[in-house]
């Protein structure tokens, strides 16, 4: 067994028990990156020198008792829309190609205090706008299970890097499914926490009312442990919520006896691949066998989530991305006439097609004459969708369904038709609109050998129900890495 | 297509979005926006008259704090990101004519 086959928590334990040094762990991950990332391209950038330097420092800190947490010494990756002080943060966009943040995101600060080792920054759809990581300005990421397929998105680089053993865990961000859908496509576990659980300070904003940072890892235990580190109340984020309980790992118990699980019939209708359906229902059966009470119900309004999302997220994006103007940081057009022309040229040259599409849609729906018809209409729809979930959670502890309608599509298949790409987020998007926590974890493979993701959704701040159900299901199977992950550095 | 985006509208959106589009990009943008709006029009099937617009899932309040400097100067690091810099300042095109 190689170091790389360990989960983050297993590795942390072995480092603590001095069976493995922090430098050995970092070197193993870096060798794997060098061996595989030319093919996979999960990383936008990585820095061997600073990772090894940090590994040495962390080892000292562990030896002298500074770092005592379960993830101390564990090498990890960070999505490239999360600010890392002194280290390039690009959002996979030409407009931020050379941007070096002067501060770190609060989630990253929490991880520094824990004593993790940062390897590099992972590829993503430009500004997190996309579902395949193909809108990155720096090239596509390939799915470690099949290099001709997409890893999902927008946190495709993080999910692919975890699956390929190019890191032991990673941070992603999720605005409409950007953690859960790529986790599903890459056969790893990812969680979007309740809105407000993890500080958004230092997360480069896309749709501020929907964005959350969350963990992507090999299993539920790692996700819970990583969430426990990154979750905190942060006065620098006015939407950050102070929780009564941050002990997410307490929910790692193999017991769902009496737990009420709702299965929304609407998640199993037209558009859902038959093999995905079968695997997800088989997972529900497993939980039922363990004593959970599983029931079908009507969720309602499922088909309205995507149109509402695109109005709201695009509106917020058009406002959030107005800061990229070529004045204080980022790309600036070489030739222009006057200030306004500089703004326009800079943005037109700096943003990719999907980002421009959403900025324009957002500007339109917020413009005078259309604001009520589109923007307010979408916000009213959001309220109705939230009510549907409130009704469901009055009856159920968690909701169970697929993370995505299919397994990973081929590279290039989705880009030609944006609406088709948007549909891959149909089961994840309403969770963001309602602020809920949701987790995707592997539950099988299709006949092409591509992973299938199971999604478990909880009520607001009921992460522990989600973790408990996910953990209990996970005990019924063993983690499987893609072949390529095993063929890399040993 | 039910929605029609004319030249004037796409021109106006370009001004709001601060984007300069070529002729071809404009045509593509019109088609994209029309098909997105057709799709979004699905929301009109819903009676939302009884629902209040929900911008945030939880009540959002202003968070007040004392105005105390906690970070350092940082101007050197900030200026290091400047596309153009001169005399410890950002260089921008002339704005007052």
> Is A10 in a helix, a strand, or coil?
helix
A416-454 per-residue burial string, b: 16 or more CB within 10 A, e: under 16: eebeebbbbbbbbbbbbbbbbbbbbbbbbbbeeebbbbb
Cα-to-chain-centroid distance, residue A431:
13
Which SS3 state, helix, strand or coil, does residue A361 take? Answer: helix
Segment (H or E) for A171: strand A169-174
Least CB-CB distance to B33: which of A308, A361, A380? A361
Mutate which of A380, A420, A432 to disrupt the B interface (most B C-beta within 10 Å)? A380
* Residues A5-37 as b or e (16 or more Cβ within 10 Å = b): ebbbbbbbebbbeeebbbbbbbbbbbbbbebbb
* Distance in Å, alpha carbon of B78 to nearest chain A alpha carbon: 7
ipTM: 0.95
Helix (H, G, I), strand (E, B) or coil at A19: coil
Q: Are A363 and B13 in contact (CB < 8 Å)?
A: yes
**DSSP-based three-state secondary structure for A7:** coil
**Per CATH, is A3-252+474-486 categorized as 1.10.540.10?**
no
Active site residue A154: yes
Give dist(CA A422, CA A439) in Å, integer. Answer: 19
What radius of gyration do chain B's Cα atoms show? Answer: 23
Q: Do A435 and B78 touch (CB under 8 A)?
A: no
**Other C-beta atoms lying within 10 Å of the C-beta of residue A60:** 12
Contact A380 B54 (CB under 8 A): yes
Query: A396: Cβ–Cβ under 8 A, 6 or more apart, which residues?
Result: A260, A261, A262, A295, A297
CA distance A485 to A481: 6
* Per-residue tens of pLDDT for chain A, all 490 residues: 799 999 999 999 999 999 999 999 999 999 999 999 999 999 999 999 999 999 999 999 999 999 999 999 999 999 999 999 999 999 999 999 999 999 999 999 999 999 999 999 999 999 999 999 999 999 999 999 999 999 999 999 999 999 999 999 999 999 999 999 999 999 999 999 999 999 999 999 999 999 999 999 999 999 999 999 999 999 999 999 999 999 999 999 999 999 999 999 999 998 999 999 999 999 999 999 999 999 999 999 999 999 999 999 999 999 999 999 999 999 999 999 999 999 999 999 999 999 999 999 999 999 999 999 999 999 999 999 999 999 999 999 999 999 999 999 999 988 777 777 888 899 999 999 999 999 999 999 999 999 999 999 999 999 999 999 999 999 999 999 999 998 654 4
Report field, pTM of the whole predicted structure over 0.80: yes
Domain residue spans in chain A? 3-252+474-486
Contact at 8 Å (CB) between A127 and A347? no
**Other Cβ atoms closer than 10 A to A291:** 12
Q: How many CA atoms lie within 13 A of A114 on its CB side?
A: 27
3 state SS of A77: strand
| A–B CB contacts, 8 A cutoff, strictly below | 165
Q: How far is CA A389 from CA A310, A381, A393, A435, A463, in A?
A: 20, 13, 6, 10, 15
């Amino acid at each position: 067994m190689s170091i790389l086959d360990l989960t983050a928590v297993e590795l942390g334990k072995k480092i603590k028990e001095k069976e493995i040094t922090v430098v050995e762990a970092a070197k193993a991950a870096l060798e794997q990156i060098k061996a595989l990332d030319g093919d996979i391209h999960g990383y936008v950038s990585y820095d061997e020198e600073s990772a090894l330097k940090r590994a040495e420092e962390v080892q000292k800190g562990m030896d002298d008792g500074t770092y005592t947490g379960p993830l101390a010494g564990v090498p990890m990756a960070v999505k490239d829309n999360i600010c890392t002080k002194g280290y390039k943060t690009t959002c996979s966009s030409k407009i931020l190609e050379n941007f070096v943040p002067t501060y770190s995101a609060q989630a990253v600060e929490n991880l520094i205090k824990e004593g993790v080792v940062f390897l590099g920054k992972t590829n993503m759809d430009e500004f997190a706008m996309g579902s395949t990581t193909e809108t990155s300005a720096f090239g596509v990421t390939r799915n470690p299970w099949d290099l001709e397929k997409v890893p999902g998105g927008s946190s495709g680089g993080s999910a692919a890097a975890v699956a390929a053993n190019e890191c032991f865990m990673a941070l992603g961000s999720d605005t409409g499914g950007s953690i859960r859908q790529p986790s599903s496509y890459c056969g790893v576990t990812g969680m979007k926490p309740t809105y407000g659980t993890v500080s958004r300070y230092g997360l480069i904003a896309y749709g501020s009312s929907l964005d959350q940072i969350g963990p992507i890892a090999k299993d539920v235990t790692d996700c819970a442990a990583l969430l426990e580190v990154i979750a905190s109340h942060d006065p620098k984020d006015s939407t950050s919520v102070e929780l009564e309980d941050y002990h997410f790992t307490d929910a790692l118990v193999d017991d769902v006896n009496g737990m009420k699980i709702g299965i929304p019939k609407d998640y199993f209708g037209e558009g859902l691949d038959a093999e995905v359906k079968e695997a997800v229902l088989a997972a529900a059966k497993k939980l039922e066998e363990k004593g959970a009470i599983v029931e079908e119900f009507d969720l309602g309004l499922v088909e309205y989530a995507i149109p509402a999302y695109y109005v709201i997220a695009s509106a917020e994006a058009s406002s959030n991305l107005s800061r990229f103007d070529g004045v204080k940081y980022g790309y600036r057009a070489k030739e222009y006439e006057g200030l306004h022309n500089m703004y326009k040229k800079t943005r037109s040259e700096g943003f990719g097609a999907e980002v421009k599409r959403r900025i324009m849609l957002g500007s339109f729906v917020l413009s005078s004459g259309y604001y009520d018809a589109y923007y307010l209409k979408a916000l009213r729809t959001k309220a109705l969708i939230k009510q549907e979930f409130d009704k469901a959670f009055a009856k159920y502890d968690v909701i169970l369904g697929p993370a995505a309608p299919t397994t990973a599509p081929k590279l290039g298949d989705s880009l030609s038709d944006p609406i088709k790409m948007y549909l891959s987020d149909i089961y994840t998007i309403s969770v963001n609109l309602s602020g809920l926590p949701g987790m995707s974890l592997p539950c099988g493979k299709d006949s092409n050998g591509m992973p299938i993701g199971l999604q478990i959704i909880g009520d607001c701040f009921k992460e522990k129900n989600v973790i408990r159900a996910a953990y209990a299901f996970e005990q019924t199977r063993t983690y499987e890495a893609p072949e390529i992950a095993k063929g890399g550095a040993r | 297509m039910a929605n029609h985006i004319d030249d004037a509208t796409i021109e106006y959106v370009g001004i709001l979005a601060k984007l300069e589009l070529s002729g071809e990009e404009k045509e593509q943008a019109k088609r994209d926006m029309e098909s997105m709006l057709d799709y979004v029009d699905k929301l009109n099937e819903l009676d939302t008259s009884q629902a209040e617009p929900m911008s945030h899932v939880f009540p959002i309040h202003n968070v007040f704090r004392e105005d105390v400097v906690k970070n350092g100067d940082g101007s050197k690091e900030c200026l290091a990101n400047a596309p153009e810099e001169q005399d410890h300042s950002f260089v921008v095109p002339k704005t007052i004519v």
